[in-house]
Amino acid sequence: MNDHFEEIETSLDSPSLRTRAWKSLKADKVAFTSVVVVLLLIIIAICAPWFAPKLPLYQYPDGLSDIGAPQGPGRNFLLGADQNGRDVLSRLIFGARVSLTVGVVATALASIIGVTIGAISGYMGGWVESILMRLTDIVLSFPILLFCIALIAVTGPSTKNVVLVIAFAYWTYLARIIRSQVLSLKEREFIIAARSLGLTTPQIIRRHIIPHLIPTIIVYSTLGVATSILIEASLSFLGIGVPLPQPSWGEMISEGQKYFQSAPWLLIAPGVTIIFAVLAFNLMGDWLTDLFDASSTGVKR
């Protein structure tokens, strides 16, 4: 029987996703800030040459003092210069381009693999599911770092490898989440109705299952970018990430720690940047989770 209270709630709850998104952003300052930061990062990454005050790779002679020590933050170099006279701010901005590109591409790749494997294993069940899930477990227990080192040893450092490694590490999380969602989705009556209409399994997965997974995919992709920024930074820190001379936040930290006593800005600048970037993506992921939770995909009974 239709519960009386449910009706009142749904008649109050009819605003669209867009309206609710806007309202919740206005109400929640933290969420709002995180979305702004993410958008800023994206814009900066795309338009890096327009934002960077100087060239990131050029070794400016006036970056170093007379005795060869890097200049601190000042009018000339807003965040200081590094041991080669390069502008830290410009390197950070171009590093954003690297981090975000790697993040988006790697996460997209991870999503495609993870959703495919998760959806198929969840929907089909049986031995297909067993095999795919065991595969997922094996990959999950892989030591990513060792794998990366081995890969680099064979093929040499490249951005492509970084993207592949991150995608390889991340798809498993998505596969598991998607699988459990699909398991509960496939019991819903509209799926059974689709089966009784005679739709084939690929048709059902494409038309009825995947669209319901989109909120999860969006949330996990956002969180995935955060994770990949960290992984990329870690790999670059270890020297097996994005190859030189491309500026990378991780590489900047690696260099910066050597000069921490004399030129602390070399470590602080990229460190703080990474923290804020990862935080922003994570918080935006939280906001999206809450937004989709009071979901527009049907009346809650």
Partner 1 sequence: MILQPTPLLSVKDLSVHFKGTGKLVGSQPVKAVDGISFNVYQGETLGIAGESGSGKSTLARALIGINKPTSGKILVRGHEIVDFSNSALRPIRKKIQMVFQDPYDSLDPLFTISQSIAEGLQVRDLPRSEIPTEVLRLLETVKLPGSLATRYPKELSGGQRQRVAIARALATNPDLIICDEAVAALDVSVRAQILNLLQDIQEQASISFIFISHDLSTLRYISKSVAIMYAGKIIEYGDSDAVLTHPQHPYTRALVSAVPNIAGNNGDKIKSIGEPPDLANVPSGCAFNPRCRESVAQCLIQTPQLLPTAQGPKVACHLIQPIESLQLSLGGE
Partner 2 sequence: MKLEAAENSSTAVVDVASVSVSFPTRDGMEEVVHSISFSIAPAERVGLVGESGSGKSLTARAIMKLIPKPGIMTSGTISIQGQDADSLERKTNWRGSEISIVSQDPLTCLNPLVKIGIQIKEMLTYHKGLSKADADRESIALLKSVGLPNPERTMKQYPNSLSGGMRQRVAIAIAISCKPKLMIADEPTTSLDVTIQSQVLDLMESISQKDQMAVLLISHDLAVVANFCSRIIVMYNGRIVESGLVDDIVNYPQHPYTQALIASVPNLYDTERERLQTIPGSPPIAGQVNPGCSFAPRCTRSTEICMTVAPVLTLGSNSSQNYACHNPISYEARDAS
Q: Which does 299 bind (CB under 5 to 8 A by kind): partner 2, partner 1, none?
A: partner 1
Compute the 3-state secondary structure of the chain and give helix, strand, coil in percent, each to the nearest 5.
75, 0, 25
Q: Does 198 bind partner 1 (CB under 8 A)?
A: yes
297 binds partner 1 (CB under 8 A): yes
User: Do the beta carbons of residue 259 and residue 268 sit within 8 Å?
Assistant: no
What φ, ψ does residue 260 adopt, rounded to 5°? -60, -40
Structure tokens at 3: 């519960």
d(CA 222, CA 116): 18
Question: CA 139 to CA 125: how far, in whole Å?
Answer: 20
Shortest Å distance, C-beta 15 to partner 2: 9
Q: Which of 141, 184, 196, 261 binds partner 1 (CB under 8 A)?
A: 196
Classify residue 246 as exposed, middle or buried by CB count within 10 Å of its CB (0-12, 13-18, 19+).
middle
Of the listed pieces 5-13, 96-104, 169-177, 209-217, which binds partner 2 according to CB under 8 A?
Answer: 5-13
Q: Report the largest interatomic distance among the alpha carbons of the chain, rounded to a whole angstrom.
A: 83
From the list partner 2, partner 1, none, pick the one residue 8 interacts with, judged by a Cβ distance below 5 to 8 Å according to partner type. partner 2
Among 43, 150, 192, 244, binds partner 1 (CB under 8 A): 192
Look at the chain and count its residues: 301
- Whether the ω angle into residue 245 lies within 30 degrees of 0, i.e. cis, is yes
Among 75, 146, 197, 261, interactor with partner 1 by CB under 8 A? 197
What is the phi-psi region of residue 52: left when phi exceeds 0, alpha when psi lies from -120 to 50, beta otherwise?
Answer: beta
Residue placing its CB nearer to partner 1 in the complex, 66 or 189: 189
Pick what 195 binds: partner 2, partner 1, none; C-beta below 5 to 8 Å, kind-dependent: partner 1
According to the binding rule CB under 8 A, does residue 18 interact with partner 2?
Answer: no
Cα–Cα distance for residue pair 196/165, rounded to 1 Å: 42
Site mask for partner 2 (CB under 8 A), range 89-108, x = bound: --------------------
61 versus 198: smaller Cβ distance to partner 1: 198
**By rule CB under 8 A, what string of x and - marks binding of each residue 139-178 to partner 2?**
----------------------------------------
Per CB under 8 A, 18 contacts partner 1: no
Element (H, E) at 63: none
Q: How many CB atoms lie within 10 A of CB 22?
A: 12
Which residue among 2, 16, 141, 184 contacts partner 2 (CB under 8 A)?
A: 2
Quick one: what does residue 208 bind among partner 1, partner 2, none, with the CB cut-off 5 to 8 Å set by partner type?
partner 1
Three-state DSSP at 19 gives helix
Chain positions contacting partner 1, by CB under 8 A: 1-2, 10, 14, 188-190, 192-199, 207-208, 211-212, 297-299, 301
Binding positions for partner 2, rule: CB under 8 A: 1-5, 7-8, 11-12
